[in-house]
Structure 1
Amino acid sequence: MKRRDILKNGAGMLVGAAAAPMVARASDRQTFRWRMTSAYGAGTPFYTTGPGSASDFVRRVREATDGRLNIDFYPAGELIPALEGFDAVRGGMVQMNWGNAFFWSGRSFAAQYFTAVPFGMDAMGTNAWLYHGGGQALWDEVYADFGLKALPAGNTGMQMTGWFKQPLQGLESFQGLRMRAPGLTGRVYQQLGVNVQVLPGGEIFPALERGVIDAAEFVGPYLDRQLGLQNAASHYYSPGWHEPCNVTELLINRAAWQELPADLRAIVENCAAACNEVSLAWCNANNASALQDLVNNEGVELHELSEEVLQRLREIAMDTLNTYASEDPMVAKVHESYFGFKDQAMNWLNLSQKMLYNRVL
């Protein structure tokens, strides 16, 4: 009996000793409530809803932290206009923004390299550069003076050249063409004589339908079909020379980031990385079926840009990038890292992926 009593009492003491620290941790648990805005409106597939989207990211963080970090998400227009996330995060109005770094290339042109680079790397190469080639460290350095940090949180993969009301006949077809083409893409097209228009996604279809513009680029088959662009133009061109991939940016206020405990920062990083991978898979899966539907059921004609056009676009794009790099040491640093890594990565990708696509599959 004494032996049983000793065992019973000893077990109780052990349970009490083990439980006490757990109770203390639960009662002292620090929680955070953040706000996140977006460059994209409510209901936008890929960016706002669906696997790998902003809503998915918020859910992942909430569940992974067991409610220690809750993020209130505001699509474009609900708290601030679409392209004011940079200032909102920088000023501390919100802690996060979901968008794309090239929206802020007016603050530092180097931001362009962390979204899409004309004739640059695809999603595979870009992720290799960001995660293992020094890209993330450079991204942090570019944003340091602004009090910001960013993480890759999505990728559309290869995009399309865009939609045209009339088929292209060569370089002369671009002279006087009215085309929706934002950012660096637009700057390149302007040198071919294009009358470039900068329109948010929701205004592309009505402008194309009414003839305000003659052509437009957006993303790829699934998201383009969601906008109904096939109902306003029937000639669909590839390849996406201007955006071989497109990185979604999770923009974070650096002071708020540093206040998070290390384990919560790690969870945010891992949730962003998960969305980066999941969103790319989602795009590839949905683009395949959407393209088939566009061609088979919507009367869309697929075309490829001619070698003459691609070569001239390449020349203009590289001249433009080199000009910016020559004028800004930070841009030069990022440019050299990006294209140096591209040269190295392409040696392997030409032997592996290109060989696989061209000779095996």
Structure 2
Amino acid sequence: MKRRNFLAAAGAGLAAGAVAKPAIAQSNPEIRWRLTSGFPKSLDTIYGAADFFAKYVSEATDGKFVVQPFAAGEIVGTFQAADAVQSGTVEMAHTASYYYVGKDPTFAAGAALPFTLNARQQNAWMYHGGGVDLVNEFMAKHGIHALPGGNTGTQMGGWFRKEIKSVQDLQGLKMRIAGVAGQVMAKMGVIPQQVAGGDIYPSLERGTIDAAEWIGPYDDEKLGFQKVAPYYYYPGWWEGGLTLHFYFNKAKWEELPKNYKAIAEAACMAANLDMLAKYDARNPSALRRLVGAGAQLRPFPQDVMEASYKATNEVYDEISSKNADFKKALDSIRAFRNEEYLWFQVGEYSFDTFMIRARSRG
């Protein structure tokens, strides 16, 4: 081979190699992100979703895509997570969207609205009822891309320092409660308070608040609420199935390679399933321990439930009359809920009712 031809062939080979390597590098770049959680590390189930996500994406990309989670307060506080994602202070957050109803009540529609969907129905609406798309149509206005990343199941009605026998007992009660539910409670005479999870116990202990809802037995036991508020009420009608979300800075999300997006979506879905399974597995024994330690388990009186339902629909009408985004989301959720309960009363309810009665008979 003539020297000129050899050099040309070698040059072509080098050029081909130079093209191939960047193509691979571009599809699997090294990415380092930070994630701020809305929760303390002590709550391993709800905070744990952030660790779960980070481990999943790292292992699926051979350590190329690394997300470092931070607990609430390490970078920003619980109620500043959305702002941190919007501004680009962090690339991601794991949070409950209803923390940001002060920005717009529509945020709550992606998390939980009173008297709407339970956990399975919430997932069905999100994944197969248009929920994810509807949520992101709204979130795009705030520079966020959001994906479901956990569910607590139906929550408890919270811890009260005094017994609630009727609606009248709610008058003037200072209660830690988040989202649209706070507006509903206000209609019934409660003074709603926004308190981060880690600050609830000292607030109850000092009497700064008279009652608090958090999640359910497993987390509530960890936080020790039974020591400072003996009456434990159910159900948490405001959260039939709270969906937590992973927030992504929208610009950063759109920069991700297609395969990284697919991995992140799969990680979010897996974290969503894992959290609900953990709560369902851990709540029963925690409830036994709480009652054994002296917690006074109580159902909300029927008049409280009826008054709450009435007040909820009044709040929905008020918000919907002046917020088109909220109305659009609520209309979708209500239509989906009505269809779901057509099926659930036939299948789930009849089966669960029989099994609960059978269990009580031994």
Same fold (TM over 0.5): yes
Give the total of aligned pairs: 337
- Distance in 1 (alpha carbons) for counterparts of 2:170 and 2:153: 26
SS at match of 1:46: helix
Asked whether 1:245 is paired with 2:245, we answer: no
1:76 equivalent in structure 2 = 72
SS at match of 1:240: coil
2:114 equivalent in structure 1 = 118
Q: 1:233 aligns with which of 214, 229, 232?
A: 229
2:307 equivalent in structure 1 = 312
SS at match of 1:119: coil
SS at match of 2:222: helix
- Distance in 1 (alpha carbons) for counterparts of 2:305 and 2:297: 16
Alignment of 1:28-67 (within 5 A): 29-49=28-48, 53-67=49-63
Unmatched runs of 5 consecutive residues or more in structure 1: 1-19
Q: 2:208 aligns with which of 208, 212, 227?
A: 212
Alignment of 1:326-341 (within 5 A): 326-341=321-336
Please list the CA deviations of residues 250-293 of structure 1 after superposition, one character each: whole Å capped at 9, or x if unmatched. 00111111111111101100110001001001001111110011
2:219 equivalent in structure 1 = 223
2:172 equivalent in structure 1 = 176
Q: Please tell me the residue identity of whatever aligns with 1:213.
A: I
Alignment of 1:1-361 (within 5 A): 24=21, 29-49=28-48, 53-296=49-292, 298-361=293-356
SS at match of 1:160: coil
- Distance in 2 (alpha carbons) for counterparts of 1:174 and 1:310: 12
Q: Please tell me the residue identity of whatever aligns with 2:332.
A: S
Q: 1:105 and 1:197, CA in 2 relative to 1: closer, same or farther beyond 3 A?
A: closer
The farther-off stretch of 78-87 and 235-244 is 78-87
The farther-off stretch of 317-326 and 223-232 is 317-326
- Compute the displacement of 1:98 (Å): 0.7
- Compute the displacement of 1:178 (Å): 2.3
- Distance in 2 (alpha carbons) for counterparts of 1:154 and 1:203: 22
Q: 1:85 and 1:212, CA in 2 relative to 1: closer, same or farther beyond 3 A?
A: closer
- Distance in 1 (alpha carbons) for counterparts of 2:340 and 2:179: 26
> Do 2:113 and 2:181's aligned partners in 1 also have CA atoms closer than 8 Å?
no
- Compute the displacement of 1:192 (Å): 1.5
Please list the CA deviations of residues 163-196 of structure 1 after superposition, one character each: whole Å capped at 9, or x if unmatched. 1122212111111222222332221111211233
Q: Indicate the percent of aligned positions where both proteins have the same amino acid.
A: 35
- Compute the displacement of 1:100 (Å): 1.0
> Do 2:175 and 2:192's aligned partners in 1 also have CA atoms closer than 8 Å?
yes
Please list the CA deviations of residues 288-322 of structure 1 after superposition, one character each: whole Å capped at 9, or x if unmatched. 110011112x1112111121110000000111012
> Do 2:166 and 2:301's aligned partners in 1 also have CA atoms closer than 8 Å?
yes
- Distance in 1 (alpha carbons) for counterparts of 2:209 and 2:250: 40
- Compute the displacement of 1:206 (Å): 1.7
SS at match of 1:351: coil
- Distance in 2 (alpha carbons) for counterparts of 1:210 and 1:81: 22
- Compute the displacement of 1:63 (Å): 0.5
TM-score between the two structures when normalised by the length of structure 2: 0.89
- Compute the displacement of 1:210 (Å): 2.6
Q: 1:263 and 1:308, CA in 2 relative to 1: closer, same or farther beyond 3 A?
A: same
Please list the CA deviations of residues 193-223 of structure 1 after superposition, one character each: whole Å capped at 9, or x if unmatched. 1233222112211221232322211110111
Unmatched runs of 5 consecutive residues or more in structure 2: 1-16, 357-362
- Distance in 1 (alpha carbons) for counterparts of 2:254 and 2:195: 36
1:13 equivalent in structure 2 = none
SS at match of 2:56: helix
- Compute the displacement of 1:27 (Å): 5.9
The farther-off stretch of 333-342 and 166-175 is 166-175
- Distance in 2 (alpha carbons) for counterparts of 1:348 and 1:61: 36
- Distance in 1 (alpha carbons) for counterparts of 2:103 and 2:206: 34
Q: Please tell me the residue identity of whatever aligns with 2:354.
A: R
- Distance in 2 (alpha carbons) for counterparts of 1:250 and 1:230: 31
> Do 2:98 and 2:178's aligned partners in 1 also have CA atoms closer than 8 Å?
no
Please list the CA deviations of residues 24-78 of structure 1 after superposition, one character each: whole Å capped at 9, or x if unmatched. 47666422111111211233322223xxx21111111100121221112221121
- Distance in 1 (alpha carbons) for counterparts of 2:54 and 2:64: 12
SS at match of 2:146: strand
- Distance in 1 (alpha carbons) for counterparts of 2:97 and 2:197: 17
- Compute the displacement of 1:360 (Å): 4.1
